[in-house]
Amino acid sequence: MSVEALLERELEHFEREHPRSRELAEEAKGPLLSGVPMPWMIRWPGGFPVFAAEAQGARFTDVDGHEYVDFCLGDTAAMTGHSPEPTVRALREQAAKGITLMLPSEDALWVGRELTRRFGLARWQFALTATDANRFAVRLARELTGRPKILVFNWCYHGSVDETVATLQDAAVVARDGNVGPPVPLDETTRVVEWNDPEALERELANGDVACVLAEPALTNIGIVLAEPGFHDALRAATRDTGTLLIIDETHTICAGAGGYTAAYGLEPDLLTIGKPIAGGIPAAAYGFSAEVAERLEALLPADERADIGGIGGTVAANVLSLAVTRATLSEVLTEQAFERMIALGERFERGVAEAIERHGLPWHVTRLGCRVEYLFRAERPRTGSEAAAGGNALLDRLIHLYALNRGILLTPFHNMALMSPATTEEDVDRHTVVFNEAARELA
């Protein structure tokens, strides 16, 4: 059957099976802008979003009573599985003893030490979202180096950080399509190069005006684009040679293991940022500094009453609730043993997809980083964000998401990503394999 015909069939099925979600989506147009709590929620396939009823572990149910295996897991914020017991226990206990005070608690020390043990960086600060952790890290990098610009890789995503929503157009830096309200033209703040292109990186850093490179250690937001052998060495050498700080954003690549890609592959960033799953989805994020950068910062930053007007902070950041929950989540949920299981499940998922692609002779491929797996509807693995973007197939993406949704499986929206949690089971993975096989058979 053609993709269009399949899509029509799946759309009909979706609308028929989700009357309550449809009703709520209509009602929501009253109180909510565009009928959704956040603008990107209108982009779910099916014409309206599925309204959630409740979630537990690797599953959730919707308001129409359907149960789903959740491979989206809040796009990594629920990589712990939904509402894991230790996280909920800490939440309950701490909430009864204070939520936010503007004072530190002992949990902040524990979490700082644990992050050092996992990622190697010497000192830490806390924020509520990965976006904010990136914003604060970028500002501190500019302050330290006295340089105005940052460098990012084409088709990166680091949250709604103004400087990062940039792309290359005929070698010029411009705002990404869909960027909302950029404060200044992006070429004033940002240099952009392709991932896995060390020559371009060296050329751009040679300008001497870049405070920091902000990079995921593998692109994960335009499909997964892994670093080629030697690229991380080139990145570290080029940043060191030019006095540019290297910020590694581990928000998604924590999927590589308990210490993220940084520990798994021995990276040596100057700063590191992370958010999303560290408190099981309760808003919490952290940014860390190497000993050398921490020392330079402590010498530079005002320690008097001017310290709180510098644009780094947030009244409810580092609140005692977030830190208590982070402590419980890191010590009891996102443990080394949990990652062993999750990565084995990722391998099983990858095998299932690869076998189906081969069996049906489709020109597609599958990539994995730890417990994160992604398939792309093209035969060649992309080397750069641009290649990955050009290889996207919006129609097929829509179809596969809807096909999966109609059979009780939620994939991460906007690409074909699946994430394993400590609560995910082999049966969950095999359920996806069966559904993916069926879709591949119908499409072949």
- Of the listed pieces 5-13, 79-87, 173-181, 247-255, which binds ligand PLP according to CB under 6 A? 247-255
Least Å from the CB of residue 317 to ligand PLP: 13
Least Å from the CB of residue 252 to ligand PLP: 5
- Of the listed pieces 61-69, 129-137, 173-181, 344-352, which binds ligand PLP according to CB under 6 A? 129-137
**Interface with ligand PLP (CB under 6 A), residue from 79, 130, 214, 238:** 130
Least Å from the CB of residue 221 to ligand PLP: 5
- Of the listed pieces 64-72, 164-172, 245-253, 336-344, which binds ligand PLP according to CB under 6 A? 245-253
**Could you give the CA distance from residue 155 to residue 240 in angstroms, rounded to a whole number?**
24
Lay out the site mask for ligand PLP across 76-115 (x = CB under 6 A, - = otherwise). ----------------------------------------
- Of the listed pieces 38-46, 126-134, 305-313, 410-418, which binds ligand PLP according to CB under 6 A? 126-134
Return the HEC string of the chain. Answer: CCHHHHHHHHHHHHHHHCHHHHHHHHHHCCCCHHHCCCHHHHHCCCCCCCCEEEEEECEEEECCCCEEEECCHHHHCCCCCECCHHHHHHHHHHHCCCCCCCCCCHHHHHHHHHHHHHHCCCEEEEECCHHHHHHHHHHHHHHHHCCCEEEEECCCCCCCCHHHCEEEECCEEEECCCCCCCCCCHHHCEEEECCCCHHHHHHHHCCCCEEEEEECCCECCCCCECCCCCHHHHHHHHHHHCCCEEEEECCCHHHHCCCHHHHHHCCCCCEEEECHHHHCCCCCEEEEECHHHHHHHHHHCCCCHHHHHCCCCCCCCCCHHHHHHHHHHHHHCCCHHHHHHHHHHHHHHHHHHHHHHHHCCCCCEEEEECCEEEEECCCCCCCCHHHHHHCCCHHHHHHHHHHHHCCCEECECCCCEEECCCCCCHHHHHHHHHHHHHHHHHHC
Least Å from the CB of residue 323 to ligand PLP: 17
At 288, phi and psi to the nearest 5? Answer: -120, 160
**Interface with ligand PLP (CB under 6 A), residue from 190, 251, 262, 406:** 251
Strand order in the sheet with 372-376: 365-369, 372-376, 417-419
- Of the listed pieces 124-132, 138-146, 170-178, 375-383, which binds ligand PLP according to CB under 6 A? 124-132
Binders of ligand PLP among residues 147 to 166 (CB under 6 A) are 157-159
Least Å from the CB of residue 370 to ligand PLP: 14
**Interface with ligand PLP (CB under 6 A), residue from 62, 163, 204, 216:** 216
**Interface with ligand PLP (CB under 6 A), residue from 125, 154, 196, 221:** 221
Least Å from the CB of residue 223 to ligand PLP: 13
**Interface with ligand PLP (CB under 6 A), residue from 87, 131, 416, 421:** 131
Residue 322 interacts with ligand PLP (CB under 6 A): yes or no? no
Q: Which is nearer to ligand PLP, 21 or 384 (CB)?
A: 384
Residue 129 interacts with ligand PLP (CB under 6 A): yes or no? yes
**Interface with ligand PLP (CB under 6 A), residue from 62, 70, 75, 270:** 75
- Give the number of residues in contact with ligand PLP, rule: CB under 6 A: 15
**Interface with ligand PLP (CB under 6 A), residue from 191, 252, 296, 407:** 252
- Of the listed pieces 182-190, 246-254, 298-306, 358-366, which binds ligand PLP according to CB under 6 A? 246-254
Residue 249 interacts with ligand PLP (CB under 6 A): yes or no? yes
b/e 358-374 (16+ beta carbons within 10 angstroms → b)? eebebebbbbbbbbbbb
The neighbour count for residue 86, using CB atoms within 10 Å, is 17
Instruction: Show the tokens assigned to 52.
Output: 């959630």
Residue 287 interacts with ligand PLP (CB under 6 A): yes or no? no
- Residue whose CB is nearest to ligand PLP in the complex, by number: 159
Residue 288 interacts with ligand PLP (CB under 6 A): yes or no? no
What single letter denotes the amino acid at residue 93? Answer: E
Q: Please give the residue ranges that form the binding site for ligand PLP (CB under 6 A).
A: 75, 129-131, 134, 157-159, 216, 221, 249, 251-252, 275-276
